[in-house]
Amino acid sequence: MTTLLATAALLSGLPAMAATSLTLAVAFLALVILLVGLTTGKRTRAARTSERSASQDGARQALRDSEVKAVQIMSREQLGVDRVIRCHLSGRGLHVNPEVSLSAVFRVTNPGNPKDAYRAFASIRQKYVDFLITDADHRPICGVEYHGSGHNSGNAARRDAAKAEAFSQAGLPLIVVSKGFDANDLGRQIDIAVGTRHGRPASRRRSATGYPDSVGVAAE
């Protein structure tokens, strides 16, 4: 702005031809600056793309140079919870899905503030729910979290709060059980969640003897 004002003041005191020449020179200079900026921006983007590609190539090479093994995705305690849930859902056309990423379960939108939506999604996209119960078409019904040995380490409270908020905002129940949980109580909570999502009261009950012996693993 200062340059333009100075140029205008200078032009006002020059003959017409000189003023025209100076105007053309200024316009040419502005065009050169614009082209340089665009070229620099393209080079910067190209450099970033090249760096990302190099990083991805390096990561793949690191995998090739490393030993990769498949591991069991559940602890012994979690297996006990899994078996209780599967036994309770047996024959009902429902599914239990372990270790599901919240990024696959929830979509976050905020038309008035897309940046807030992105920040909200970022807070949950790398988090997982221990078990996600879904209907026959894999529509979510409820989540089950198991807080077993060592759960309260690190920033567990913050992770738990983020998960609970996401489920609450989506209108999905999140059932939380701890070590030594009661299998019948877990079954009742699942029935309530299923009944709520299907628009009818839950009536299914199961005695403790209806569950596999492995439930004792979680209650030790």
What residues does each domain of the chain span? 2-64, 76-219
Q: Are 148 and 112 in contact (CB under 8 A)?
A: no
Q: Mean pLDDT lowest for which of 15-19, 179-183, 186-190, 211-215?
A: 211-215
pTM here is 0.66
The residue-averaged pLDDT of 6-26 equals 60
Q: Are 166 and 131 in contact (CB under 8 A)?
A: no
* Residue 93 half-sphere exposure toward CB, CA atoms < 13 A: 6
Helix, strand, or coil (residue 28): helix
Most confident of 6-15, 33-42, 164-173: 164-173
Q: How confident is the model over 109-162, as pLDDT tens digits?
A: 999 999 999 999 999 999 999 999 999 999 999 999 999 887 877 788 999 999
- DSSP character at residue 210: G
- DSSP character at residue 130: E
Helix, strand, or coil (residue 153): coil
Rounded CA-CA distance 29/9 in Å is 18
The residue-averaged pLDDT of 13-35 equals 69
115's torsion region: left (phi>0), alpha (psi -120 to 50) or beta?
alpha
- Domain 76-219 maps to which CATH number in 3.40.1350, 3.30.470, 3.40.50, 2.40.50? 3.40.1350
Query: Helix 76-89 and helix 183-197: axis angle, to 10°?
Result: 50
Q: pLDDT confidence of 199, banded at 50, 70, 90? A: low
